[in-house]
């Protein structure tokens, strides 16, 4: 399994230009196959997204690595993730930041991710069942916010919960989605498009 992860990192991630050593180390260490129920172990390390039940998917390893690198984590940050899914991205983030708060709208996914993360020892992650459009105001501000489901437009509520100097990384759009990086500094918000992506839509709660 370690070998499979090494190949995944070398061929899918480093080869496409992700170079942050800490990110690569985290990708080598988290046991991706333990986050995908019922999968054949080797499939967990292939170069594409995979179903995790309830019509949802775990992202392609490269996209997880790219988005993590864009977050520029150095270990002290408080991070908010929208779309816990399997908990895999949250596990990666937790190795690189201080605290990870993750929101999942599908209750059974949130519950199984919570159990899985606890069993695997990723104790810096807290999972909440809820609607990510609202963010997690009680824990704000966040140094980094990452969305792993795509809203038609980045919700202002989330930008409001970003700390000064904070970074938000997210897919944005309906059919055509851009991966964007937003930096908030001194009350101004700058945004750039990194690439084009295909995520599940971010759905609205009640």
Closest of 143, 131, 149 to residue 199, by C-alpha:
149
Rounded to whole angstroms, the Cα distance separating 183 from 188 reads: 8
Restricting to residues 137-176, name those near ligand SAH by CB under 6 A.
Answer: 148-149
Here the tokens at position 136 are: 């997690």
CB of 1 to ligand SAH, least distance (A): 18
Instruction: Report the greatest alpha carbon distance in the chain.
Output: 48
Rounded to whole angstroms, the Cα distance separating 27 from 21 reads: 10
From the list 59, 86, 102, 150, the catalytic residue is 59
- Rank residues 82 and 100 by Cβ distance to ligand SAH and give the closer one: 82
Restricting to residues 45-64, name those near ligand SAH by CB under 6 A.
Answer: 52, 56-59
- Rank residues 153 and 187 by Cβ distance to ligand SAH and give the closer one: 153
Can you tell me which of 68, 89, 112, 177 binds ligand SAH, judged by CB under 6 A?
A: 89
Decide: is 15 part of the binding site for ligand SAH (CB under 6 A). no
Can you tell me which of 31, 99, 133, 198 binds ligand SAH, judged by CB under 6 A?
A: 133
Decide: is 202 part of the binding site for ligand SAH (CB under 6 A). yes
Give the contacts of 120 (CB within 8 A, at least 6 positions apart): 31, 34, 91
Helices (H), the chain: 2-7, 21-29, 61-70, 88-94, 107-119, 156-160
Q: What is the DSSP string of 112-128?
A: HHHHHHHHTT-TTEEEE
Decide: is 203 part of the binding site for ligand SAH (CB under 6 A). yes
The stretch among 72-80, 157-165, 171-179, 196-204 that binds ligand SAH (CB under 6 A) is 196-204
CA 154, distance to chain mean position in Å, is 15
Q: Which residues contact ligand SAH (rule: CB under 6 A)?
A: 52, 56-59, 82-83, 85-86, 88-89, 103-106, 109, 131-133, 148-149, 200, 202-203
């Amino acid at each position: 399994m370690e070998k499979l992860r090494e190949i995944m990192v070398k061929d899918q991630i480093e080869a496409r230009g992700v170079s942050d050593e800490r990110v690569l180390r985290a990708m080598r260490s988290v046991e991706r196959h333990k986050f995908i129920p019922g999968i054949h172990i080797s499939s967990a390390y292939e170069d594409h997204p995979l179903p995790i039940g309830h019509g949802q998917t775990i992202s392609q390893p490269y996209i997880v690595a790219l988005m993590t690198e864009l977050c520029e984590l150095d270990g002290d940050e408080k991070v908010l993730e929208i779309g816990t899914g399997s908990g895999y991205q949250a596990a990666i983030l937790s190795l690189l930041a201080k605290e990870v708060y993750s929101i999942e709208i599908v209750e059974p996914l949130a519950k199984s991710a919570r159990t899985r993360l606890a069993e695997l020892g990723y104790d810096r992650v807290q999972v909440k069942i809820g609607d990510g459009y609202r963010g997690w105001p009680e824990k704000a501000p966040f140094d980094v916010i990452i969305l792993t489901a795509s809203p038609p437009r980045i919700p202002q509520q989330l930008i409001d919960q970003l700390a000064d100097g904070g970074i938000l990384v997210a897919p944005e759009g309906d059919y055509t989605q851009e991966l964007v990086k937003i930096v908030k500094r001194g009350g101004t918000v700058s945004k750039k498009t990194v690439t084009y992506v295909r995520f599940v839509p971010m759905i609205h709660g009640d």
